[in-house]
Amino acid sequence: MADYLVRETVFDFIECEMIGHGISIIECPVFVYEGQFRSKNELDHTCHSITHLDIQPGQMAASNGIQLLRFSPFSVYVVLEQQQPAKFSSEHRKKFFDISHGKCMLTIQGESILEIIGDYCSTDIFCNRISQNRVVKTRIIDYELVIWWHSNDKVNALVDRSYLQSFVEFFRSLLLRR
Amino acid sequence: MQTNRISSLEFGNAIDRSKPLEFIFDGRKLTGFAGDTVASALLANNIHLVGRSIKLHRPRGILSSGIEEPSAIVECAMPGDGPVPNLKATEVLLSEGLVVKSQNNWPSRKFDAFGVLSCGSRLLTTGFYYKTFLWPSWGWHRIYEKVIRIFAGIGRVQINGSGTFAETADKRHKYCQVLIIGSGPAGLSAALSCSRNGIRVVLVEQEPVFGGSLLWRKGFVGEVAGNQWISQTVEELKQNPNVDLFSHTMVFGHYDHGLALAYQKRSINDSDILWKIRADRILLASGSIERPLTFPNNDRPGIMLAGAVRKYINCYAVKPGTKAFVAIADETERDAAIANCGAAGIEVVECLKPDQEIVNVHGRHRVKAVSVNKSNGEKVRYTCDLMCVSGGWTPTVHLAAHIQGKLSVDKNMQVPIPPNQNGPLFSVGASRGIFDLNSILKDGQYQAHQAMSQIEVTADFTVSQPATVESASFPVSIKPVAGHNAFVDFQNDVTQADLTQAVAEGYHDIELVKRYTATGMGTDQGKTSWVNASQRIAAAIGEQPEAMGHTTFRPPYSPVPFSAIAGARIGDFMKPIRRTPLHKALKKLNCVFQTSGDWLYSRYFPQEDETLEQAVNREVRAVRSSVGFVDMSTLGKFEIKGPDAETFLSRLYCSNVAAMPIGKVRYGLMLREDGILFDDGTIARMGDHHYVVTATTANSEAVWRWMTRLAQTQWSELNVTLANVSEHWATIAIAGPRSRDVLSKFNFDFETDRREFPFASIRVGVVDTDVPCRIYSISYSGELSFEVNIPAGYANSFIDQLVDIGQNYGLTPYGLEALDVLRIEKGHISVGREIDGRTTPYDLGLEKMVSVNKDFIGRSLLNRSGLKSTERMQLVGLTATNQHSTISTGGVLASQQYSKGTRQDVIGHLTASIYSPTLNMWIALGLLRNGHHRYDDTIWVVSPITGQSTEVRVRSTNFYDEAGEQLNG
């Protein structure tokens, strides 16, 4: 028996070869917090104090290993690649709910992967607003997820843990079909 | 040998002569070129007779060159693939090894034995089947139906045919600001305007190449030849990253909110695609469809639409004949057709004048001559092997009508036209009756600017709207003709005489005539027939054609394979599957999973060769005697924080929430607004203003939506925040007399003994120094039980530790089946069974859970007298009076045992029935009328399906440990 409990990811590494293009799907361990606020001003202030950036609904902001994804006036996701970044203090954490184990982050990399994803999204990710903000909560067929990107060849996705395996297998089969 | 292929390279812009292709037609090897359609390749090989008509088995040829084709319906098969029937030869692109067969003939299309039916055309008039086959009454089932099935339909479906493309067809989304349907001059002009203004454009063309009618009309755009202009324009559009171009893609449906569905055919190695296109504005540049003329024997092979002849000449380098008789309404079109024929080496033997009438066509398998009556009464016969006919052009407005419903009919052109152009769909060019090339180009620009202005893009408004140019309409012959062979609808063998007869029989509405005569009900959907039909009907009634209106246009615009609509065969990926955090660990324990909603749930854990029943009984006994564990991770878990958290929950649940000590757990019932039970769960107080509630798996999403809706809308004054943490926490219930012993072996930072951790409490802490955990001391099974909540990422590791520890205590994993048995033995309720959308807490014996001291959702309607009536169905327990009897699952409750043919007095139904390994007998829960006052009564459980009856005794629902001693351990 293991002496201590061990945190596992659902997948370690999945590679999917598409004809002429290599596409990789990697699950990255992250820490995710959800903030719910009753006033927009309060959330504006909190986001600013974490990242020193203004972030409005439909936008994302990143600073010092902290990614903020905001979809509504009153709620925001905080995504941390390490657990204790200095800017996300315990004072800040008190206002947030820890959902780190409920969400899994995937990094999907490959040539023009954003366009491929766009073919199956129920949202127009290339409209002005979203292509500028580069973050959106959407669906790929029947899977709800949050995606954000910094280039057309690398997309990050937050998927509910229970759907993760099904989503990856489905997405892989979809890529193979192309 | 392609005897009809024109060698001059001036013709054939659609084919690639460097790529010859071999194909087979009715067993005969033929050749064509890449870019050919089956129709153009057949014509190139001098084959005009392509099949037989559906009813009269008349010889039929190729009338048109596009999707409007009514006659050239064939079966095609790729090598190694199953045949596909009922394809239009004008739509199928030629490919190497393609096997094409004519349909609806035996033994061959030239010598069809059923051709004798055409001799009986006077008997087989429209609607004949409504007036025949009536006698004798037994004749229908024994004779007529079987015979008719032999003759009915065209084409045969191979049930076991393979279809690799069918299995890989894809569905994709596309979004744009302007969708342009059609790449003729109107569409390309509009696309240029939009793309140069930075608009996101999708341009869709149903043909394999862009250009539309400009490819074969060969006009000039300014000084630039049409083909060259097309190439330049397409190239410019391709260079623009905001423009998506789709060829060989047909938009077949137009729906609400700018949604259009398009079917894209791709190459042999690629799957076809169904595109769901969302556009802010749509420009319908779909052109127009040519109408045939109506005269006796107008269906003979060799009689073709004039535009189609020009297209075969210019695009496919095929001359469909050597001697042509021309009958074209529009003078300009006529001159152009004559010039085109001349350039291709086709002799024009005569042109029909407006005052002349075609009275007959000679030739059976191909036109040989035409008889014409002149105005002076002279009858002249012209020898020919080709007829170029045209009664004018009908704007293609179908997609506009999908959304806009009925369209108006233009009085002069006698064709439907789109209504006033207010968007979001704008008809452009020929699709709204503009036929002059320069006007079409201007209209493309103008409508594009209208669309752009509506989506608030700066546009140049100096472009003026061109006027609609009227197309001269040739007076269609309306005289009754002898022979009943003046066809209006070629595909369904509907003649002018049929339409006249339908009117005479009282059918005056165009929709009724359509259905009675089957006009426009073939795969061509009346594209070449219904205008002529409406004119004929109007003449017969004595109305103006514009008063007739048109039939309802519905998607699909042209037939679309089911494979495209169904999408790829993706097996288990058809719908998402949710796995619990324990899935890996449970799989190692030989779990048999089952789907429960979206979830893949642990059903049972068989050992060796156990049956389901044996495994479940073993698991239940293990929990009752020692200890077991089950995956409860699918429960909904929600955190409520804030000063008003207690108020929020107090309003939400009918149970008492007030003054709960921190660290305590209560059972909560949630009602609908009408007082009916909605869900049950637990409420745990974690801190001063911090609660965690659970919801059932089935209602988890619904409860979450309900809670968030209330918090955001109706109770927005409450200072409370909610979070759905269902996915974050894995939940493992450890149940059984030895469960506390097992729990004590873990490295928690709090005490787990009975005094420190009593029933109905929660402990929050860490395990293994830093892994957070929450443990509830609650029970669904009726045994001492602890629900351990641990972050999902640690779940599998926790199970490994648990199994290791549990070896000393006989720890047994159990699944949904055993869990159900345990809860029924204890009389606990379940969503979907006892909570069935009709029951109240009173019905289920839970009146003590309803607080009388506060207001809550559902309170006022719960107090309706009808919901408290003793005549209501109330939850009871049932045991068989004979201990060895079984109680049928799904049985109903009755006062008497089952008697076939006798009406049962049904007084209730079962909600659950199982064999109890704890009690060694069958037990059941049921809803019985006035059940709470019928304890010790004997009634019957009856199964009308099996005829089984079992006498049962009514009792309380708690079959096991009525005193609840097991719960405290």
pLDDT tens-digit readout, A147-176: 999 899 999 999 999 999 999 888 888 887
Question: Which residue matches tokens 């590494």?
Answer: A13
Using the Cβ of B579 and the Cβ atoms of chain A, whether some distance falls under 8 Å is answered with: yes
The better pLDDT of the pair B382, B552 is held by: B382
CATH (domain of B81): 3.10.20.440
Does B728 sit within 8 Å of A165, measured CB to CB?
no
pLDDT digits (tens, 9 = 90+) for B651-676: 999 999 998 999 999 999 999 999 99
* Least confident among B191-205, B374-388, B458-472, B495-509: B458-472
DSSP tag of B46: T
pLDDT digits (tens, 9 = 90+) for B302-357: 999 999 999 999 999 999 999 999 999 888 889 999 999 999 999 999 999 877 88
**Residue of chain A with shortest Cα separation from B270:** A178
**Residue of chain A with shortest Cα separation from B165:** A177
Closest Cα of chain A to B579: distance in Å? 5
**Residue of chain A with shortest Cα separation from B167:** A177
**Residue of chain B with shortest Cα separation from A37:** B721
Using the Cβ of B257 and the Cβ atoms of chain A, whether some distance falls under 8 Å is answered with: no
A-contacting residues of B 584-623, CB under 8 Å? 584, 599
What is the C-alpha separation between B451 and B470, in angstroms, rounded?
Answer: 25
Closest CB to B175 among A7, A102, A124: A124
Does A166 sit within 8 Å of B573, measured CB to CB?
yes
> Token pair of B89, please?
């030869």
pLDDT of B174 above 70: yes
Closest Cα of chain B to A62: distance in Å? 23
**A–B: how many Cβ contacts below 8 A?**
115
Instruction: Examine residue B60 and state whether it is found in any structural domain, yes or no.
Output: yes
The better pLDDT of the pair B596, B299 is held by: B299
> How many domains does the structure of chain B reveal?
2
Closest CB to A177 among B568, B584, B719: B568
Does A118 sit within 8 Å of B173, measured CB to CB?
yes
- B150 falls in which pLDDT band (50, 70, 90)? confident
Does A37 sit within 8 Å of B578, measured CB to CB?
no
> Token pair of A24, please?
């990789």
Instruction: Examine residue B102 and state whether it is found in any structural domain, yes or no.
Output: yes
Closest CB to B727 among A102, A124, A178: A102
Closest Cα of chain A to B779: distance in Å? 25
Helix (H, G, I), strand (E, B) or coil at B823: helix
Using the Cβ of B172 and the Cβ atoms of chain A, whether some distance falls under 8 Å is answered with: yes
Last residue of a domain, one of B53, B88, B118: B118
The superfamily in CATH containing domain A31-99 is Aminomethyltransferase beta-barrel domains (3.30.70.1400)
Cα dist from B780 to B121, B680, B840, B893, B923, whole Å: 77, 12, 20, 27, 18
pLDDT digits (tens, 9 = 90+) for B695-738: 999 999 999 999 999 999 999 999 999 999 999 999 999 999 99
- B479 falls in which pLDDT band (50, 70, 90)? very low
Last residue of a domain, one of B98, B118, B138: B118
Closest CB to B794 among A7, A38, A126: A7
pLDDT at B76 (0 to 100):
92
DSSP tag of B152: S
Q: Which fold has domain A1-28+102-173?
A: Gyrase A; domain 2 (3.30.1360)
Strands B892-894 and B938-943, by their bridges, are antiparallel
- DSSP string computed for B597-633: TTEEEEEE---TT--HHHHHHHHHHHHHHS-EEEE-T
Using the Cβ of A99 and the Cβ atoms of chain B, whether some distance falls under 8 Å is answered with: yes
DSSP tag of A173: H
What is the C-alpha separation between B38 and B36, in angstroms, rounded?
Answer: 6
Residues of A with CB below 8 A from B708's CB?
none
Instruction: Examine residue B105 and state whether it is found in any structural domain, yes or no.
Output: yes
Closest Cα of chain A to B663: distance in Å? 19
Averaged pLDDT for residues A45-55: 89
Q: Which residue range forms the structural domain that includes residue B929? A: 870-968
CATH (domain of B890): 2.40.30.110
Using the Cβ of B632 and the Cβ atoms of chain A, whether some distance falls under 8 Å is answered with: no
Closest CB to B723 among A36, A160, A170: A36
Q: What is the 3-state secondary structure (H, E, C) of B85-143?
A: EEEECCCCECCCCEEEEECCCCECCCCEHHHHHHHHCCCCCCCHHHHCCCCCCCHHHHH
pLDDT digits (tens, 9 = 90+) for A10-30: 765 555 555 446 888 888 888
**Considering only CA atoms, which of B58, B110, B62 is closest in space to residue B524?**
B62
pLDDT of B238 above 80: yes
**With pLDDT > 70 as the criterion, what percentage of chain B qualifies?**
96
- According to DSSP, the residues that pair with B325 across neighbouring strands are B350, B387
pLDDT digits (tens, 9 = 90+) for B346-359: 999 999 987 788 99
Instruction: Examine residue B526 and state whether it is found in any structural domain, yes or no.
Output: no
Give yes or no for a contact between B324 and B350, defined as CB atoms under 8 angstroms apart.
no
pLDDT at B968 (0 to 100):
74
- Domain definitions of chain A by residue range: 1-28+102-173, 31-99
Kindly tell me the burial class for residue B288, based on how many C-beta atoms sit within 10 Å of its own C-beta (0-12, 13-18, 19 or more): buried
Provide the Cα torsion B841, B846, B852, B858; round to 10°. Answer: -20
Last residue of a domain, one of B73, B88, B118: B118
What totals of helices (H) and strands (E) does chain B contain, helices first? 25, 49
Phi-psi region of B216 (alpha: psi -120 to 50; beta: other; left: phi over 0): alpha
Phi-psi region of B796 (alpha: psi -120 to 50; beta: other; left: phi over 0): alpha
* Least confident among B119-133, B248-262, B794-808, B950-964: B119-133
Using the Cβ of A53 and the Cβ atoms of chain B, whether some distance falls under 8 Å is answered with: no
Helix (H, G, I), strand (E, B) or coil at B558: coil
Closest Cα of chain A to B600: distance in Å? 10
pLDDT at B474 (0 to 100):
42
- B465 falls in which pLDDT band (50, 70, 90)? low
Give yes or no for a contact between B33 and B17, defined as CB atoms under 8 angstroms apart.
yes
Closest Cα of chain B to A25: distance in Å? 18
* Least confident among A90-99, B515-524, B554-563, B907-916: A90-99
Helix (H, G, I), strand (E, B) or coil at A158: strand
**Residue of chain B with shortest Cα separation from A172:** B573
Averaged pLDDT for residues B72-98: 90
